[in-house]
């Protein structure tokens, strides 16, 4: 019998996902000998057997991976046969400088673990930290690579004999499950009142929590990546109180419900949405509200959609089950929103949460498993035309999975923007974009940004050769970039906001040839000192050439930042630009509350005092929404646009003119949309029809603009990016309109089209910049 020996070096998501026991079982099935171990280079496998045995092992290795495993590279080499080797052995993990290992994201509880938790005879019955190699926490509890228990926040919980036996048994699904635990040796929970006095511990804490929530209490609950603020979603008073205390008057709140049966009572869910709701990632999914909507009206007052998620941790499953028994309502739905004050990062530790949330929560559910990395819930909506996801926020369940980019290159740090900030580090041909960090408007978020940078550099074991920041000199990320550059003696480069949007889109799509970019958002500091946001760009990624081809009509923002918060100012400024100085046949709706301010606005506009010019698409939506009387003042970003989209009568087939003008530079006459809106308002056309005609007119104008430049430049790919592309109407209808004229739309599928993608664009641009220099 002729023997052969082969060595496999495998990189990817292959540590902490049950890969070694899978290899062990595959070796036993094929009767081969050898070894397997985790190392800094990846998973190393040596197998020895006959040609038939080795071939069978190799085929099974490729075809029968564990649910969470992902192979990125697989290299093999022939080795000399080892005499007298009979067994296959799992060796101890080895470290080393540098590594090619991906940490798994945190994933939802698997069915096997749920079965353990509902079995009264099982020692993990109702245990809120049940997990195995196929599920549970990963990224949020990991300090460093290799992913072994001493490098996690489970290091302080020694395994009991029963758990140790599971942990050491290669045929057990908890073999080397680093967070493995049970009630005898693992973390525990306890419930306190608003004075931090303990009310109940262990299982009784969860039962009592459900009872208190059913009574209308607001709870702060420590979860997987931070704290949630929780209340009964059917109790109007509880939801209203939560909004008042959290200073979140209107922005939609997410809800958690136990099952898909309950989800269908809340929303008209399509199959693609169900897959996201029930899959491994378990994001919040925005689904069309079922009418009549059974939850408290204040859950999502501005929109026809509701954010739904199913339980994704054992603690959630137990709580929802107990709440279903305790609540008098038919639908056991809990508001589950980030545990923070508006604009601050989510709370992570017990003391931090009590300090920051004691004015909001009546009760607190704590546990003693440390969260090392704070991570918000991800939010997606599904494009019904394609079933593709549109990320609103990318965090838990997806981070730290990389975006695979077109080429390998030096490590670059993309710092991200000011709002909806993320950061990105490149490593070879992979770009690691962080979880949602938030708005860089306070010291807490700045510290969060520093935490994530340190952590990503540590787990990836890289040091950037270049830092890329936004062009805006006053962004906190810009200041921080310059400070880091000086401290570490690393050069800092700048890239304009909207070019970063398009570079991010092209990187996601691995598109390296020239493209036209439509960058549509609210704010971005432009190269000419104005505020950009409705831009038609040309980008040639291979050469790092880019050019502004056209933009939306300019509108002034009287009062600067005040105009963003008070969209009536934008509406009046747009009318002023059209030569309309006072209310006429149609009574301006903001005069009821802002007549005095409105009277002085023309002076500000004429003298251009604190009234910067913008070509922003987001501000156009704001102004039209205000002109239609949908909103005067907004309480959260995007509120006016959400209301305008909601108002549409989708049966309307009319449209408004939005022609391209051959100025220098070329512009899209978006003021013609405002003019048409005003004329229809004067003729008492319903706002629902006006809203639809506006959306259709804008889509037609954007399509004409892209097509015109496509013909001139012989470029047929159009990259779509910016927060406006989260508007479901544009996300579904604009790509289709582009396809109808023979263009090829490129859309985001892995990152949000909003500013959450900016850091990726910065990083890949910077990497290419270094490659061109070398």
In the three-class reduction of DSSP (H, G, I as helix; E, B as strand; rest coil), residue 703 is classed as: helix
Q: In whole angstroms, what is the distance from residue 17 CA to residue 138 CA? A: 9
* Cβ proximity of 247 and 369 under 8 Å: no
Q: In whole angstroms, what is the distance from residue 14 CA to residue 21 CA? A: 11
Q: What share of the chain is helix, strand, coil (3-state, %, to 5)?
A: 35, 20, 40
* Cβ proximity of 148 and 93 under 8 Å: yes
Contacts 24+ apart (CB under 8 A), 191-197: 191/363, 191/364, 191/365, 191/366, 192/363, 192/364, 192/366, 193/362, 193/363, 193/364, 194/358, 194/361, 194/362, 194/363, 194/364, 196/354, 196/364
| Count of CB atoms situated within 10 Å of the CB of 755 | 27
Cis peptide before 727 (omega within 30 of 0): no
Token output for 741: 């004229």
Catalytic site includes residue 20? yes
- Which residues are bridge partners to 427 per DSSP? 430
Tell me which H or E stretch contains 561.
Answer: helix 561-565
Q: Provide φ and ψ at 740, rounded to 5°.
A: -65, -25
First to last CA, the chain: 53
Token output for 27: 């070796």
In the three-class reduction of DSSP (H, G, I as helix; E, B as strand; rest coil), residue 217 is classed as: coil
- Which residues are bridge partners to 441 per DSSP? none
Q: Which entry of 5, 20, 138, 149 is annotated as an active-site residue?
A: 20
| Count of CB atoms situated within 10 Å of the CB of 193 | 14
Which residues have CB under 8 Å from 349's CB, separation 6+?
370, 371
In the three-class reduction of DSSP (H, G, I as helix; E, B as strand; rest coil), residue 583 is classed as: coil
Catalytic site includes residue 161? no
Q: Which entry of 5, 30, 38, 124 is annotated as an active-site residue?
A: 38
* Cβ proximity of 220 and 357 under 8 Å: yes
Rounded to the nearest 10°, the torsion over CA 716, 722, 725, 727 is -160
| Count of CB atoms situated within 10 Å of the CB of 368 | 14
Point out the residues that are catalytic. 20, 38
């Amino acid at each position: 019998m002729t023997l052969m020996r082969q060595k496999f070096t495998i990189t990817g998501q292959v540590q902490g996902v049950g890969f070694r026991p899978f290899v062990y079982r595959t070796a036993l099935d094929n009767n081969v000998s050898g070894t397997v171990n985790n190392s800094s280079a990846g998973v190393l496998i040596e197998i020895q057997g006959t040609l038939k045995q080795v071939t069978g092992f190799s085929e099974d290795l490729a075809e029968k991976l564990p649910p969470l495993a992902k192979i990125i590279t697989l290299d093999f080499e022939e080795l000399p046969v080892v005499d007298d080797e009979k067994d296959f052995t799992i060796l101890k993990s080895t470290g080393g400088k540098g590594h090619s290992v991906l940490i798994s994201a945190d994933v939802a509880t698997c069915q096997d673990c749920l079965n353990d938790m509902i079995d009264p005879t099982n020692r993990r019955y109702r245990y809120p930290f049940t997990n195995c190699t196929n599920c549970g926490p990963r990224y949020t509890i990991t300090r460093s690579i290799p992913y072994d228990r001493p490098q996690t926040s489970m290091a302080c919980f020694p395994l009991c004999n029963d758990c140790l036996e599971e942990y050491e048994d290669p045929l057990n699904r908890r073999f080397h499950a680093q967070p493995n635990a049970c009630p005898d040796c693992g973390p525990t929970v306890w419930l306190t009142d608003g004075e931090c006095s303990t009310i109940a511990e262990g299982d009784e804490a969860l039962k009592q929590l459900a009872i208190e929530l059913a009574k209308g209490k607001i709870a702060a609950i420590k979860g997987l990546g931070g704290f949630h603020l929780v209340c009964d979603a059917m109790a109007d008073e509880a939801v209203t109180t939560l909004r008042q205390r959290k200073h979140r008057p209107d922005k939609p709140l997410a809800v958690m419900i136990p099952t898909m049966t309950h989800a269908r009572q809340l929303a008209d869910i399509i199959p693609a949405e169900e897959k996201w709701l029930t899959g491994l990632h378990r994001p919040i999914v925005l689904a069309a509200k079922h009418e009549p909507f059974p939850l408290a009206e204040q859950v999502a007052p501005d929109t026809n959609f509701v954010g739904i998620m199913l339980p994704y941790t054992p603690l959630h499953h137990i709580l929802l089950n107990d709440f279903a028994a305790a609540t008098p309502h038919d639908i056991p739905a809990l508001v589950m929103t980030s545990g923070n004050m508006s604009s601050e990062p989510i709370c992570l530790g017990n003391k931090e949460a009590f300090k920051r949330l004691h004015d909001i929560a009546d009760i607190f559910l704590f546990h003693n498993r440390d969260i090392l990395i704070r991570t918000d819930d991800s939010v997606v909506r599904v494009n019904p035309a394609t079933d593709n996801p549109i990320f609103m926020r990318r965090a838990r369940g997806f981070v730290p999975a990389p975006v695979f980019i077109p080429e390998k290159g030096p490590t670059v740090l993309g710092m991200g923007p000011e709002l909806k900030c993320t950061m990105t580090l490149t490593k070879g041909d992979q770009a690691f974009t962080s979880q949602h960090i938030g708005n860089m408007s306070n010291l807490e978020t700045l510290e969060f940004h520093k935490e994530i940078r340190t952590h990503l550099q540590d787990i990836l074991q890289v040091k950037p050769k270049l830092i890329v920041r936004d062009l805006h000199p006053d962004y906190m990320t810009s200041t921080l970039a310059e400070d880091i550059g000086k401290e570490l003696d690393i050069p800092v480069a700048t890239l304009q906001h909207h070019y970063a949007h398009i570079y991010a889109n092209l990187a996601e799509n691995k598109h390296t040839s020239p493209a036209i970019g439509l960058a549509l958002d609210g704010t971005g500091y432009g190269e000419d000192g104005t505020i950009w946001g409705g831009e038609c760009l040309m980008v040639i990624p291979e050469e790092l050439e880019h050019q502004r081809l056209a933009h939306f009509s300019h509108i002034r923002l009287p009062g600067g930042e005040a105009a963003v918060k008070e969209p009536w100012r934008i509406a009046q400024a747009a009318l002023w630009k059209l030569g309309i100085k006072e209310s006429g046949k149609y009574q301006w709706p903001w005069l009821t509350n802002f007549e005095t301010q409105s009277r002085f606005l023309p002076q500000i506009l004429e003298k251009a005092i604190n009234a910067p010019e913008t070509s922003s698409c987001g501000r156009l939506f704001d102004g039209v929404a205000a002109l239609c009387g949908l909103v005067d003042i907004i309480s959260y970003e995007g509120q006016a646009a959400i209301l305008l989209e909601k108002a549409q009568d989708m049966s309307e087939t009319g449209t408004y003119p939005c022609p391209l003008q051959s100025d220098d530079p070329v512009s899209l006459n978006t003021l013609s949309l405002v003019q048409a809106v005003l004329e229809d308002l004067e003729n008492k056309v319903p706002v629902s029809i006006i809203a639809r005609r506006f959306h259709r007119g804008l889509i037609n104008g954007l399509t004409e603009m892209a097509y015109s430049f496509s013909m001139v430049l012989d470029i047929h790919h159009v990259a779509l990016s910016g927060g406006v592309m989260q508007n479901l109407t544009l996300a579904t209808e604009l790509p289709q309109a582009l396809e109808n004229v023979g263009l090829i739309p490129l859309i985001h599928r892995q990152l949000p089209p909003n500013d959450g993608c900016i850091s990726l664009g910065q990083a890949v641009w910077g990497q290419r910049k270094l490659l061109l220099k070398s």
